[in-house]
Chains A and B, each alone.
Chain A
């Protein structure tokens, strides 16, 4: 018997190294980014308290733009080294759970079928959900990247990521 929430929680999604710079540019590695020496960059340079917060954000952008983009083999991929059950900073976990739900919806996951599967099969299904989340995040990052290229000044304002949400309504 598989607890699918617990199973998803154990998983650590991957991101493409293609987006590493983007992630580092807007998110701190942890609650306090010790690599940043000055208060200014600590204050103003970063919009997300954690890499994974930006990841969740990107995944939603992927969802809203309906642009799941599976990780390709062109780039190395990595996890943040933290399973999803621990993505809790700033009360981010409910939003992550919501993302799981969203992904299940868009993946048209057959919940009844799931209950007829054995553990291995269920876990395989959950892996697909994770892959889909990765695809959304990847698509989201792509979208943000293209947005930066198109209008770099857009990301100067502190509320740029909020504004972006309105653009992808």
Chain B
């Protein structure tokens, strides 16, 4: 089925009769080019209204039934010029050519939808709903060409049938879309988006029906088998126990099977989660590491800075601590030493002088009066209380005795000390001062310059260390910022990702273990069940009705086969889509060498997700918006071509390439022109970009009509819409 033409009468900006607003299409790529506000989306609306009796309301972003839109469908020009009692008829007409039956002559169908308004009142505002009566609302008509003439077809459902032939409802989303819908059509975050597509294109639903039937009949067969078996075993005592165990085992097996499904589901979820995080975990780990490094670098800078501050603060303390202040004072120590020497010598001299004086004095004092006997006699006389001279005794206390005692006492020798002849003794003070000076001048002062140099170098080194650490810090910071801008994770996420990754890894391990254990139990139960079944069988010795048994066995097999065949078909379809998506992806990107990688459809739980990977299968996370749209478009095209829809159905799309560079746009056009028998794209891209328009006309081999639409009045010069019509001109 291809679209030969669409004609529009008084539909919004397309004012005028059908033959003045006709777009004729050919097989191949048809392009409708228009500026913003030129009527591109109105044409899309006209298509949609004709096919589905709904109009897109751009303010609510939803489709509304014709009854809601009412008189707004009609062009302002037509409404303004109508007189009371006159009609405005809005018509959209689609001419289709059906070549699907290759053996016979192609059939032409003419689909028409119309609405007729009658003007009943004259007011200034022709858009006032009260001025209009809807004479007939959304009338459809189908005509079929009979050799020369179109003849009406009986209405009953033929309109809808032909629309479905043109755009089968299940494929409609992939054949008929606006650029902005591409994102949600194949949503990388929505697991179902591809499953839906696969259901659509493989008719996998029919297999789901088979499974439902198989389940039902197998259940029935098993029930009648069990009933019969129980009946037969009723009176057999030894079988009774087995029967009980069998029932128990069957229940356990069912339970474990359910368990297993749940575990597998959980396992898949955990694996998916892990997989999702895998792309980010390296960045996250790196980010965490860099953050720690940054912190420690900061700490090191602070530490070095505080060492430097301390060093600077303490630098001048060394004037005293390391005696830098005395740098020039060494000579005084020498002078003091001489001073001290002189002092000592002089002191010795004085000492001798003074001693001599003292001795003379002493000697003078020691001399007894002339008439007194010598000291020895005198002492003896005093002891014996008898005078040796006059040989008389005397009593202690009488004047003679007292006199002699005093004389003796006075002349006794005294101990001589230095202070006896010096008023002050500063020797120790001088020694102390000298010893202080000696240490300083011999040990500290000679090292001052060296020590100053050392301390200055220390400060310089610290300063250099800080500079180095600051350099290291900014290097880490740069890396961190680079990772934050180019990597897949934000700083806040990093911690969570690392944690979640560990968690999903743990739960994956746990579920694997669970699965293993459950499978082992299930196996054990099944083995036991088959033993019991054998025993039961022998206990009634093949007395079972062979038909019942056969039916049960065959229908059990059937269920198993229905299930596995569905899976096979599903996998096949996935492979097919993947293959086709890559073919289309390469077709679209062949002009652009910068695009790398391929599309894979990766199993995620029960569904599949498209992913862009490099040649090693590693997900490309740094791809830009237009690459993502390309992947999605490739997947959409794959879905349609897998269904074989490219031959029988047109692709109609509005602004699919608005995010693309020129090469991508041409690549997309070439690709759809090659794979679709007919496609119609409505686009702004070629309007101002004349180079691109030329490339379109030159490079696309299977090119249909290229049509430019322009409003009769440019948008900025438009005072009112009364005179607005649309100019349609063909470029080829």
**Residues of chain A at the chain B interface (Cβ within 8 Å):** 1-5, 43-44, 47-49, 53, 56-57, 60, 63-64, 89-92, 94-95, 97-98, 100-102, 104-106, 109, 111-112, 114-119, 122, 158-159, 161-162, 165-166, 168-169
* Set of chain B residues within 8 Å of A98, measured between Cβ atoms: 326, 329, 332-333, 436-437, 440
Asked if A4 contacts B429 (CB within 8 A), the reply is: yes
Asked if A43 contacts B313 (CB within 8 A), the reply is: yes
Bound form: Cα–Cα A50–B419 in Å = 41
* Set of chain B residues within 8 Å of A1, measured between Cβ atoms: 419, 423-425
Asked if A165 contacts B325 (CB within 8 A), the reply is: yes
Query: Which residue among B316, B340, B347, B422 has the maximum number of chain A CB atoms within 10 Å of its CB?
Result: B316
B452 is an interface residue with CB less than 8 A from chain A: yes
Q: Which of A49, A95, A114, A119 contacts B326 (CB 8 A)?
A: A95
Asked if A105 contacts B339 (CB within 8 A), the reply is: yes
* Set of chain B residues within 8 Å of A117, measured between Cβ atoms: 423-424
B328 is an interface residue with CB less than 8 A from chain A: yes
Q: List 26 A-B contacts (CB under 8 A).
A: A1-B425, A47-B316, A57-B319, A60-B326, A64-B328, A90-B319, A94-B323, A95-B320, A95-B323, A100-B433, A105-B336, A106-B332, A112-B343, A115-B426, A116-B422, A118-B423, A119-B424, A122-B424, A159-B452, A161-B316, A162-B319, A162-B452, A165-B325, A165-B328, A166-B327, A168-B328
Interface residues of B in 332-361 (CB under 8 A from A): 332-333, 335-336, 339-340, 343, 346-347, 350
**What's the minimum C-beta distance from B34 to chain A, rounded to whole angstroms?**
68
Asked if B317 contacts A90 (CB within 8 A), the reply is: yes
Known: A100-B433, A114-B424. A169 touches B328 (CB 8 A): yes
Asked if B430 contacts A111 (CB within 8 A), the reply is: yes
* Set of chain B residues within 8 Å of A112, measured between Cβ atoms: 343, 346-347, 350
Q: Which of B309, B313, B343, B423 contacts A111 (CB 8 A)?
A: B343
Asked if A5 contacts B433 (CB within 8 A), the reply is: yes
Known: A94-B440, A111-B339. A60 touches B329 (CB 8 A): yes
The number of A-B residue pairs with CB atoms under 8 Å apart is: 129
**What's the minimum C-beta distance from B443 to chain A, rounded to whole angstroms?**
11
**What's the minimum C-beta distance from A153 to chain B, rounded to whole angstroms?**
18
Known: A158-B316, A162-B452. A5 touches B432 (CB 8 A): yes
Asked if A97 contacts B436 (CB within 8 A), the reply is: yes
Q: Per-residue CB proximity of B366-396 to A under 8 Å, as 1/0? A: 0000000000000000000000000000000
**What's the minimum C-beta distance from B141 to chain A, rounded to whole angstroms?**
91
Q: Which of A114, A118, A158 contacts B312 (CB 8 A)?
A: A158
Q: Per-residue CB proximity of B468-510 to A under 8 Å, as 1/0? A: 0000000000000000000000000000000000000000000
B321 is an interface residue with CB less than 8 A from chain A: yes
B324 is an interface residue with CB less than 8 A from chain A: yes
* Set of chain A residues within 8 Å of B320, measured between Cβ atoms: 53, 56, 89-92, 95
* Set of chain B residues within 8 Å of A2, measured between Cβ atoms: 424, 426
Bound form: Cα–Cα A166–B453 in Å = 13
* Set of chain B residues within 8 Å of A105, measured between Cβ atoms: 332, 335-336, 339
* Set of chain A residues within 8 Å of B339, measured between Cβ atoms: 104-105, 109, 111
Asked if B423 contacts A43 (CB within 8 A), the reply is: no
What secondary structure prevails in chain A residues at the interface with B? helix
Asked if A104 contacts B347 (CB within 8 A), the reply is: no
* Set of chain A residues within 8 Å of B561, measured between Cβ atoms: none
Interface contacts beyond A1-B419, A114-B424: sample of 18 additional A-B pairs, CB < 8 Å, sorted by A: A1-B423, A5-B429, A49-B316, A56-B325, A60-B326, A89-B320, A92-B320, A95-B325, A97-B432, A98-B332, A98-B437, A101-B434, A104-B433, A105-B336, A106-B332, A111-B430, A116-B423, A161-B319
* Set of chain B residues within 8 Å of A43, measured between Cβ atoms: 309, 312-313
**What's the minimum C-beta distance from B456 to chain A, rounded to whole angstroms?**
6
Bound form: Cα–Cα A3–B440 in Å = 22
Which A residue's beta carbon lies closest to that of B424? A115
**What's the minimum C-beta distance from A6 to chain B, rounded to whole angstroms?**
8
Known: A112-B347, A116-B424, A165-B328. A91 touches B335 (CB 8 A): no
Bound form: Cα–Cα A140–B323 in Å = 18
* Set of chain A residues within 8 Å of B309, measured between Cβ atoms: 43
Q: Per-residue CB proximity of B414-448 to A under 8 Å, as 1/0? A: 00000100111110011011101101100000000
Q: Which of A3, A47, A49, A94 contacts B429 (CB 8 A)?
A: A3
* Set of chain A residues within 8 Å of B558, measured between Cβ atoms: none
Bound form: Cα–Cα A56–B440 in Å = 16
**What's the minimum C-beta distance from B56 to chain A, rounded to whole angstroms?**
68
Q: Which of A3, A48, A106, A165 contacts B327 (CB 8 A)?
A: A165
**What's the minimum C-beta distance from A120 to chain B, rounded to whole angstroms?**
11
Interface residues of B in 284-327 (CB under 8 A from A): 309, 312-313, 315-317, 319-321, 323-327
Which B residue's beta carbon lies closest to that of A87? B320
* Set of chain A residues within 8 Å of B436, measured between Cβ atoms: 94, 97-98, 101
| Chain A to chain B: the 4 pairs with minimum beta-carbon distance, closest first | A92-B320, A111-B343, A102-B332, A115-B424
Bound form: Cα–Cα A158–B257 in Å = 83
* Set of chain B residues within 8 Å of A97, measured between Cβ atoms: 432-433, 436-437
* Set of chain A residues within 8 Å of B336, measured between Cβ atoms: 101-102, 104-105
* Set of chain A residues within 8 Å of B343, measured between Cβ atoms: 111-112
Bound form: Cα–Cα A60–B325 in Å = 7
**What's the minimum C-beta distance from B222 to chain A, rounded to whole angstroms?**
87
* Set of chain A residues within 8 Å of B419, measured between Cβ atoms: 1
Asked if B347 contacts A115 (CB within 8 A), the reply is: yes
**What's the minimum C-beta distance from A84 to chain B, rounded to whole angstroms?**
14
Bound form: Cα–Cα A5–B424 in Å = 13
* Set of chain B residues within 8 Å of A161, measured between Cβ atoms: 316, 319
Bound form: Cα–Cα A5–B434 in Å = 12
Q: Which of B315, B422, B459 contacts A115 (CB 8 A)?
A: B422
* Set of chain A residues within 8 Å of B440, measured between Cβ atoms: 94-95, 98
Bound form: Cα–Cα A64–B419 in Å = 38
Asked if B324 contacts A101 (CB within 8 A), the reply is: no
Known: A64-B328, A91-B320, A158-B312. A101 touches B437 (CB 8 A): yes
**What's the minimum C-beta distance from A39 to chain B, rounded to whole angstroms?**
9
Which B residue's beta carbon lies closest to that of A2? B424
Asked if B429 contacts A90 (CB within 8 A), the reply is: no
Bound form: Cα–Cα A43–B456 in Å = 17
Bound form: Cα–Cα A59–B433 in Å = 18
Which B residue's beta carbon lies closest to that of A165? B327
